[in-house]
A = this chain, B = another copy of it.
Amino acid sequence: MTLRPVLIDGQWRQANAESQFQAFNPTNGDCLSDIYPVSSWQDCDAVLNAASEAYQQLQQVTRQQIAQFLNEYADLIEANSQSIVEMANLETGLPVTPRLADVELPRTTSQLRQAASAALNADWTMPIIDSKNNIRAMLQSIGPVAVFGPNNFPLAFGSASGGDFAAAIAAGNPVIIKAHPSHPGTTRLMTELAFKAVQNVGLPEATVQLIYAMSNDSGLKLVGDARIAATGFTGSRPAGLALKNAAEKAGKLIYLELSSINPVIVLPGAVVENADTIANDFTNSCVMAAGQLCTKPGLLIVPDDASADKLVNTIAEKFSSAAVGTLLSPVSAEHIQNNINTLIDGGAIELTQASLEESPRFCQSNRLLSIKGQQFIEASELFQTEIFGNASLIIRSKSVAQTHRIIEQLEGNLTGCFYSHSDGRDDDAYQLLEPVLRQKVGRILNDKMPTGVAVSPAMNHGGPFPAAGHPGFTAVGMPAAIKRFAALKCFDGVRQNRLPDILADRNPGDIWRQIDGRWTTESL
């Protein structure tokens, strides 16, 4: 059987392959029939050359065309939604409904359209004009961007259609799509549509290119290549750190979303007021999508007293009775078990029982573990082992002071939540703990779980290392996410007719610009 072609420089062509791979159907463990190439460096080299040229051509492309492309692509995705969600379901086991068709695909097209809107209104460019000195600055495109997407959102974070893709394109950069090996078919379908949109709108053909896979060495070489400007990576910490090292050694930007256990702190008053809601919300957030979400709450800190015992027991029951989701990869179940073993070897007690079903599907029963606060404090690194799946760890804290010490030992995370009583009785504890937790996370939540990541301009899906590579940027939310793939450019004494239209005296649209310290849509 032939290998699926890669997309290089506007041509779907046979890869220069050094090996091949197939994806799995997680619901039955079957190997899927399509065969995909692992490209040699020769393909990477060709892709990089074409991306460089496309980037030069993109200098002449207007923001209207970029927006048109993103909208056209979103339209094409909707017109082909059925085949997309079927393929994504086949490769990931994620249910077509409610997940893929009703949530993830609409999120994906909405995100592309928000990126289109951001490309058009140029909000991400942050134009700033110092009229007295005739110095003007804005963010502009940066160059070819490589996108390595994760396995858990084949559409909304997929390399060919997710937030990194949309953001990099919105800024005017060509994208090199590296498929995730667990869903190459979905990435292929998306790239086909993206490329169709490229052609329909008349963008440079190498604005979008696809390589399914490459050796680790080629991957490291790619992110540090002189022709690359930046990389977006979402995935495991070891892979991310290896790429980070390779990119940064060469002075290249890389934006990472690596790992996060998303601590949730239940303050004493919340146990009294909202135990049932918390038990429900927490369980749902942990077992939804089999817990394979970057914002799954992996750590629940609750008081170590009798009232909280009931909450913990309720959660354990709910974990045991909740439906067991399908895992994404053949090694997921083993990874989860290994990490649970690590926690148990460290002294954690299991509150649920492993009950493996007799099924070829990839799965692991919902698992809940527990430790005392002091145990965490004594081995905080071990107890921050991330379990990417439907398992979570409860810490029983003796006091607010102990919770404070626990928080102090946390690594960087995407999110941190507080549940507290509505009447304000937990406010003293909150005021003590929040400043410390805030330093450890990118997003602070009140009275809700972190799993939902709204595509909002005020979202931060990022955080201190190792949750993300740079704590100043978000991977979700337009226009903010676009700024990652941009470079600051200053025009000092540049003549009017040579300025980007966004920086000229006359405002070319209703673009927000900061002129002499004042934000306005007016002309100068």
Given contacts A137-B459, A454-B135, A471 and B488 within 8 Å (CB-CB): yes
* Contact A488–B512 (Cβ < 8 Å): no
For A459, the chain B residues whose CB sits under 8 A away are 130, 135, 137, 490, 492
A359 interface residue (CB < 8 Å to B)? no
Contact residue among B436, B442, B495 (Cβ-Cβ distance under 8 Å from A489): B442
* Contact B489–A458 (Cβ < 8 Å): no
Contact residue among B245, B439, B494 (Cβ-Cβ distance under 8 Å from A249): B245
* Contact B128–A494 (Cβ < 8 Å): no
A238 interface residue (CB < 8 Å to B)? no
Given contacts A123-B517, A142-B471, A512-B519, A493 and B445 within 8 Å (CB-CB): yes
* Contact A460–B245 (Cβ < 8 Å): no
Q: Which of A421-450 contact B (CB under 8 A)?
A: 427, 430-431, 434-436, 438-439, 442-448, 450
A466 interface residue (CB < 8 Å to B)? yes
Taking the nearest CB of chain B, how far is it from the CB of A144, in angstroms? Answer: 11
Number of this chain's copies in the complex: 2
Taking the nearest CB of chain B, how far is it from the CB of A400, in angstroms? Answer: 16
In this complex, the member of A133, A439, A474, A514 whose beta carbon has the largest number of chain B beta carbons within 10 angstroms is: A439
* Contact A139–B472 (Cβ < 8 Å): yes
Cα of A121 to Cα of B514 in the assembled complex, Å: 14
For A484, the chain B residues whose CB sits under 8 A away are 472
Per-position binary interface string of chain A over residues 405-417, scored 1 when its CB falls under 8 Å from any chain B CB and 0 otherwise: 0000000100100
* Contact B514–A457 (Cβ < 8 Å): yes
Q: Of all chain B residues, which has the CB nearest A469?
A: B251
A456 interface residue (CB < 8 Å to B)? yes
For A74, the chain B residues whose CB sits under 8 A away are none
Cα of A456 to Cα of B132 in the assembled complex, Å: 10
Cα of A517 to Cα of B510 in the assembled complex, Å: 12
For A497, the chain B residues whose CB sits under 8 A away are 427
Given contacts A459-B135, A471-B487, A519-B519, A465 and B130 within 8 Å (CB-CB): no
For A245, the chain B residues whose CB sits under 8 A away are 248-249
Given contacts A251-B465, A458-B137, A472-B487, A494 and B445 within 8 Å (CB-CB): yes
* Contact B498–A445 (Cβ < 8 Å): no
Q: Of all chain B residues, which has the CB nearest A408?
A: B56
* Contact A460–B498 (Cβ < 8 Å): no
* Contact A446–B135 (Cβ < 8 Å): no
Q: Which residues of A does B touch, CB under 8 Å?
A: 56, 59, 121, 123, 128-130, 133, 135-137, 139-140, 142-143, 244-245, 248-249, 251-253, 412, 415, 427, 430-431, 434-436, 438-439, 442-448, 450, 454, 456-460, 462, 464-466, 469-474, 480, 483-484, 486-495, 497-498, 512, 514, 517-520
Those 4 A-B pairs whose CB atoms lie nearest each other, nearest first: A519-B519, A251-B465, A460-B490, A471-B487
